[in-house]
Chains A and B, each alone.
Chain A
Amino acid sequence: MTGLLVSLAALWVLLAAVWVALWPLFVARGAPPSETEVERQELEAEKARLLQEIHELELDYQTGKLSDEDHRTIEARLKGKAVEVMQRLDALSPVESTREPGASGVLEMPEMQGARRGDSEAY
């Protein structure tokens, strides 16, 4: 009896495995993410990376791994890039309805919260 139940359970697992792999082919899904949507995701990722870069730049500077001149130059370059990325993000069309809830808007790195209040708290 136990063997029969185990066999049935195993068969159900196999059927479920096949179903999970095949059902997306027969289910109508929304339109694929548009180029705008993908660009938004890329820009958001790039923005997060740049904000993290600025944060780490400050820490590098405070711990003596950057000269004053390099710090100024790189900071200006990174901030310029970040401003550009955010402007491009805001210029994109409104968030599409197919996106996951909460995936829109401006990315906020938890570790950047201090940075937003000023460089002195970036680390």
Chain B
Amino acid sequence: MSIYSLGTVALWVGLALALYGAVVGHLGGWRRDPRLSAAAVGAVFGTSACIVLAYALLTAAFVTDQFQFSFVATNAARAMPVWYKAAAVWGGMAGSMLLWALILSGYSTAAMLSTRRRFPRLAPHAASVLLTIMAFFLVVMVFSSRPFERLDFTPLDGQGLNPLLQNHWMAVHPPNLYMGYVGWSVPFAFAIAALVTGRLGTEWITAMRKWSLVPFMFLTIGNLMGSHWAYIELGWGGYWGWDPVENSAIMPWFAGTAFLHSIMIQEKRGMLRMWNMALIVLTFSLTILGTFVTRSGIIESVHAFASTNVGIVFLSFLTLVIAASVALIWWRSDLLTTENRLESFVSRESAFLFNNLLLLGIAFAIWWGTFFPILSEAFTGQRISVGPPFFNQVNGPLSLALLMMTGIGPVIAWRRASRRNLERNFRLPLVALLVAGVVAVALGLRAWYAVAVAAFGAFVAATVVQEMWRGTRARMRAKGTGPIASLVGLVSRNRRRYGGYIVHIGVLFVFAGVTGSMFQLEEKARLSPGDEIAIGRYAVEYRGGDVEQGPNYVATVANLTVREEGGTPYRVRPERRFYPTGEEQTTTEVAIWSRTFEDFYAILEAFDPATGASDITLIVNPMLMWIWIGGGVMVFGTLIALSTPRPKPSRKNEGREPAEAAEAAIA
């Protein structure tokens, strides 16, 4: 028995511990038995250790070329750089399931360490739910998609990782996306624990505030990295094609964002309890659906790299999750009634609700467009696909409304906005909206959506600036500090709120980037050495092609010199790479000259070594950089919100009379 065979043993032991922990967790929670509850938490740690061991052994098998294992032989090759060999672990079905389980182990362990003492009634049930999810993935790896399955022989070399995945963005994109997907398991587990125990007040919301921000952040990063990978690797000049796998990754982001906003209403006003339960169940279900779409091969996708027959297993698990959650919500429906009612449609509560509906509307439109081919085939026998025009037409107006709500939500009054409140808080943003709209038209913008984004964007920016300024001014008056110190102090003491505003600024930048990129220019030409071509403000000279040898590929390269009006020349070298191992695939490696307000993008379509001529596609993408900058700002804002300190216990008021201590704390 080789050391790698211990990987299978680790998966089996992990499965046994997960099942055992799932049972004792609920038992411990129900009986309020500390031994059983501690055993469930111990099972989380034990199962996690088994998964970490299995993952480490599989990575070692990849790095040391253990081609006797089917999964290694299919996804690795000797010539691959070590970095890609390690990343190839999640390049196929079995390894990506192991990565899912590994990340879930990390989240579960951290969640139990952080909550088991603070939330003793919820933690055992939450441990049980997390272990059930782990058990599902372990069942897949033990019975269906086995990472340590042996071949009858040992091949001399492996087939190698799909060349499209041999890109550093693709090496880091799946872990980040999975960190986003998997992270929603923790809030889901605590929501289920709250339903099981009937503790449906703000306790589970308080426990899960930060645990919801983490997957939001990683889903943001994962989606942006995936878009960046598509932009530089797929070679079509765009970053988002409404591909089913892309759609599956963005749907939980919209649902999760709706959840992050609506829990604020439950915290402040005790409203939307059932809605929040439904939202977290929906968000978690969408993460499973996303994995199902990526891994089942049910829908054709340029991102589906590991189509297998596990679709039915995922669908069964998804059905179980939804059915059990709905049954629990129905069972606890009496306890999920709202403490307060909506008092006015012109209020913060109403704005947040509308924001929720828009986010879910977008998620539903994406779901509908993604699954329409399957639905149409089921009902008519004909597979009808909907393309980007459907998604753009439906989501464009919804997104613009969402952008507007991004500005309205933070400044409108709670309960009921008075005329005075509306005048005071919306005068400046509305002036900014009008000025930006007029300036956009005056500068030559004619597309209505671009003018709308400019105007609404100015509105959002004005609300954030106004909020920051008013808070800073109040602090300056109170503390007597300067504006910078006051602003820093304000943000530092209200990190969740101002971190959220910074995220809104990031969203605004992403809108600017997406809208700008709609004004894309494109030219295609067959060029011989010395030929020149113009696109937009750029003059491009083709200086011939080369054939180069890479570590595990052969590349044809076009040498282009780009000169912007009055600027210095810049060299770009788009490539086509041929990977001789495995499926003998060819990939496009685009060349991008990326600047703050414009990307110059070159694609080598074909190269004729006999004549030296190349077929070249040139694209100019305005504002595209702002999508990545906006993503960075969103992550920065989320990190600020996440850095909010936890309340600390103090004995400061001990010995005082109750009323005296109470008054001292709130005076």
A residues with CB within 8 A of B: 3, 6-7, 10-11, 13-14, 16-25, 27, 29-33, 38, 41-42, 44-49, 51, 53-54, 56, 59-60, 62-67, 70, 74, 79, 82-83, 85-87, 89-91, 100, 102-112, 114-116, 118, 120-121, 123
Q: Is the CB of A17 within 8 A of B39?
A: no
Q: Give chain A nearest CB distance to B109 CB in angstroms.
A: 11
Secondary structure at chain A's binding surface: helix, strand, loop or mixed? Answer: helix
Write the chain B residue with the least CB distance to A99. Answer: B117
| Chain B residues whose C-beta falls within 8 Å of the C-beta of A65 in the assembled complex | 348, 411-414, 421, 425
Write the chain A residue with the least CB distance to B657. Answer: A90
Write the chain A residue with the least CB distance to B10. Answer: A14
Known: A85-B662, A87-B659. 16 other contacts (CB 8 A): A3-B2, A10-B3, A23-B42, A29-B38, A31-B34, A49-B267, A53-B268, A59-B471, A64-B411, A65-B414, A67-B418, A87-B662, A106-B661, A107-B648, A111-B493, A111-B494
CA of A32 to CA of B202, assembled, Å: 23
| A-contacting 9-mer, from B43-51, B241-249, B279-287, B603-611 | B43-51
Chain B residues numbered 461-490 whose CB sits less than 8 Å from any CB in chain A: 467, 470-471, 474-475, 477-479, 490
Query: A106's contact among B411, B478, B653, by CB below 8 Å, is which?
Result: B653
| Chain B residues whose C-beta falls within 8 Å of the C-beta of A74 in the assembled complex | 414-415
Q: Is the CB of B53 within 8 A of A14?
A: yes
With contacts A10-B10, A108-B648 taken as known, whether A59 is within 8 angstroms of B661 at the C-beta atoms is no
Write the chain A residue with the least CB distance to B415. Answer: A70
| Chain B residues whose C-beta falls within 8 Å of the C-beta of A33 in the assembled complex | 34, 120
| Chain A residues whose C-beta falls within 8 Å of the C-beta of B32 in the assembled complex | 32
Write the chain A residue with the least CB distance to B48. Answer: A17
Q: Is the CB of B478 within 8 A of A120?
A: yes
Instruction: Give the number of chain B interface residues (Cβ < 8 Å).
Output: 80
With contacts A79-B666, A106-B665, A123-B478 taken as known, whether A64 is within 8 angstroms of B651 at the C-beta atoms is no
Q: Is the CB of A64 within 8 A of B649?
A: no
A–B complex contacts, Cβ < 8 Å, 7 sampled: A14-B50, A17-B45, A21-B39, A63-B471, A65-B411, A65-B413, A74-B414
- Does B446 sit within 8 A of A, measured CB to CB? no
CA of A16 to CA of B659, assembled, Å: 51
Q: Is the CB of A114 within 8 A of B493?
A: yes
- Does B35 sit within 8 A of A, measured CB to CB? yes
CA of A49 to CA of B425, assembled, Å: 27
Q: Give chain B nearest CB distance to A72 CB in angstroms.
A: 13
CA of A66 to CA of B413, assembled, Å: 5
| Chain B residues whose C-beta falls within 8 Å of the C-beta of A105 in the assembled complex | 649-654
Query: A108's contact among B203, B471, B647, B663, by CB below 8 Å, is which?
Result: B647
| Chain B residues whose C-beta falls within 8 Å of the C-beta of A108 in the assembled complex | 647-650, 652, 665
